Structure 1
Amino acid sequence: MNDHTRGTAGRRLATLLRFAAAVLTLAAVPVLAPVSAGAAQVPASSADGSHIDHTVSVDARRATVYVYSAAMNRVIALDVIRAADTSVPRPTLYLLDGAEDGIGWGGKETSWETQTDLIPFTADKNVNVVTVLDGRYSYYTDWQADDPVLGRNKWTTFLTRELPPIIDAAYGASGRNAIAGVSMSATSALALAEAAPGLYGAVGSFSGCAQTSTDPGRRYVQAVVASGGGNPWNMWGPDGSPGWAANDPSTDANLTRLRGVDLYLSAGTGGPDVAGVTPPAGGMLESVVANCTRRLQASTTRLGIPATFQYVPGGQHSWPYWQQSLHAAWPGFARALGI
């Protein structure tokens, strides 16, 4: 993507976000790192042909794992952190990045591992952690059509059917899972749990706008996809098509599938923080997110679905607040995962 292309995508994003009153940072399409000589190999595959292509060890507990997805016909990069104690099968926490995160310019990675204290935070925790380093601008969903820019996206299939059995087999996992996402993927975490009831015992949704079939959430989704150069109509069909409502995590029909799941949802208030400092543009975006989250809270209350909602004073659309949310969500995750 050259400077002209990035500028065009940024102008398209700015136009669409006037409808959603939101602003996102534009970045590059991820590129997979090369294979390291002598990298450790972890054999695992699924019935459809998805399999671990290769792994690159980082240290005794960490590795970058490259998994071939049969549904997408490409290799997906993952960061994997092993549980502190692997003497018995351990659960798995899946973490999804936002639209602007992943492996971008110059091979620089922007993810949970590089932007938060995830590595030291999980050092004493008996859970395998899998961070997906691909899928920017995709909403981690199954698209109806291949996209000229974003390619083939079958993320629901990958994250609910292809990847979990591979991780369980390769890392001796227990089969108990949790999932969390930020910004774009905060919506995805809810939708994935709804798509595969029983797969994820806990869900963390940090700074997301779950309403994908009504405004402003619908325009927000379209803006995110367009900011990556993708065509939103390739995802769930043209604007207003049935696919938009079918994939909306906030509808009553979909929300009821989350009954029994430990739910932790957070958003910033978008106003001054506890020190009285007014946040910059990220606060404006977060105020939109907070309104979406309050509407979702009203729906879960009406349906009698237990969930924890947290509104962070002055919280911005940024990694420090998402790190704080992960810490706050962890006790519920641990209970759901049985650790």
Structure 2
Amino acid sequence: MPGALEAHIGGNSKRVIAGMSLSATSSLLLAEHIPGFHNAEGSFSGCAATSRPLPRLYAQLTVNRGGGSADQLWGTMGSEYNVYNDALVNATPTNLRPSGTYDSVNSGLGGTNDRGAQGSPTLLVENGVIEAAMSPCIHNLKAKIDS
């Protein structure tokens, strides 16, 4: 499919995958499961660890808002499928570094741009807590890749 699509749009065979929040984990996983396919990978405010209790709880709290469950996304906790879908477990320097990895997360503290007309106090607090909870996920991923 990529070859046909690239030919149709006049692509140059340079591929980048990036995701934010829950899709950040999917971006990491695709880059890990198909090493070398993407020229770069980006993960913004996501959590690589989907088979560990605390990060999974944070993800569960997020998907609960839409009536979903972490089991639907990544498999039953501890199952083979769940471990396969854990981007922290599957991360290695050889399956992420060659793709030019950029992963980031914020502190969870609201900034000046978060306090506008759309920045309700409830959303600022809820989203700030979620963002702060994701911070160790990205730092753990970086530590694993760097080691």
Superposition TM-score, scaled by structure 2 size: 0.78
> Matched residue of 1:265: which SS?
strand
Q: Distance in 2 between matches of 1:231 and 1:281?
A: 18
| Structure 1: stretches of 5+ with no match in the other structure | 1-161, 303-339
The answer to whether the Cα contact below 8 Å between 2:21 and 2:45 also exists between their aligned partners in 1 is: yes
Deviation at 1:295, TM superposition (A): 1.5
Structure 2 residue 56 is the aligned partner of structure 1 residue 203: no
Q: Residues 235, 287 of structure 1: CA spacing in aligned structure 2 closer, same or farther, 3 A cutoff?
A: closer
Q: Residues 241, 182 of structure 1: CA spacing in aligned structure 2 closer, same or farther, 3 A cutoff?
A: same
Identity of aligned residues (%): 36
> Matched residue of 2:103: which SS?
strand
Q: Distance in 2 between matches of 1:283 and 1:216?
A: 17
> Matched residue of 1:167: which SS?
helix
Residue deviations 1:123-157 (CA, integer Å, cap 9, x gap): xxxxxxxxxxxxxxxxxxxxxxxxxxxxxxxxxxx
Match of 1:132 in 2: none
Q: 1:284 aligns with which of 117, 121, 129?
A: 129
The answer to whether the Cα contact below 8 Å between 2:58 and 2:130 also exists between their aligned partners in 1 is: no
Q: Distance in 2 between matches of 1:272 and 1:220?
A: 19
1:182-221 aligned within 5 A: 182-221=20-59
Match of 2:118 in 1: none
Deviation at 1:225, TM superposition (A): 4.2
Amino acid at match of 2:21: S
Q: Distance in 2 between matches of 1:179 and 1:193?
A: 8
| Structure 2: stretches of 5+ with no match in the other structure | 116-120
Q: Residues 168, 183 of structure 1: CA spacing in aligned structure 2 closer, same or farther, 3 A cutoff?
A: same
| Structure with greater helix share of residues | 2
Moved more, 214-223 or 177-186: 214-223
The answer to whether the Cα contact below 8 Å between 1:189 and 1:203 also exists between their aligned partners in 2 is: yes
> Matched residue of 2:42: which SS?
strand
> Matched residue of 2:105: which SS?
strand
| Larger RCO (CA within 8 A; separation ≥ 6) | 2
Q: Residues 270, 223 of structure 1: CA spacing in aligned structure 2 closer, same or farther, 3 A cutoff?
A: closer
Q: Residues 222, 176 of structure 1: CA spacing in aligned structure 2 closer, same or farther, 3 A cutoff?
A: same
1:86-97 aligned within 5 A: none
Match of 1:102 in 2: none
Match of 2:78 in 1: 240
The answer to whether the Cα contact below 8 Å between 1:176 and 1:199 also exists between their aligned partners in 2 is: no
Residue deviations 1:226-276 (CA, integer Å, cap 9, x gap): 44334543444322211111111112x43331131211111111236489x
What is the RMSD of the two structures over their aligned residues, measured on CA atoms?
2.6
Deviation at 1:169, TM superposition (A): 2.4
Structure 2 residue 108 is the aligned partner of structure 1 residue 263: no
Q: Which has the larger radius of gyration?
A: 1
1:98-113 aligned within 5 A: none
> Matched residue of 1:258: which SS?
helix
The answer to whether the Cα contact below 8 Å between 2:51 and 2:82 also exists between their aligned partners in 1 is: yes
Superposition TM-score, scaled by structure 1 size: 0.37
Structure 2 residue 137 is the aligned partner of structure 1 residue 300: no
The answer to whether the Cα contact below 8 Å between 2:56 and 2:70 also exists between their aligned partners in 1 is: no
Q: Residues 270, 225 of structure 1: CA spacing in aligned structure 2 closer, same or farther, 3 A cutoff?
A: closer
Aligned length: 138
The answer to whether the Cα contact below 8 Å between 1:187 and 1:210 also exists between their aligned partners in 2 is: yes
Q: Distance in 1 between matches of 2:4 and 2:67?
A: 31
The answer to whether the Cα contact below 8 Å between 2:91 and 2:141 also exists between their aligned partners in 1 is: no
Q: Residues 175, 301 of structure 1: CA spacing in aligned structure 2 closer, same or farther, 3 A cutoff?
A: same
The answer to whether the Cα contact below 8 Å between 2:108 and 2:128 also exists between their aligned partners in 1 is: yes
Residue deviations 1:289-310 (CA, integer Å, cap 9, x gap): 11211222211221xxxxxxxx
Q: Distance in 2 between matches of 1:227 and 1:274?
A: 26
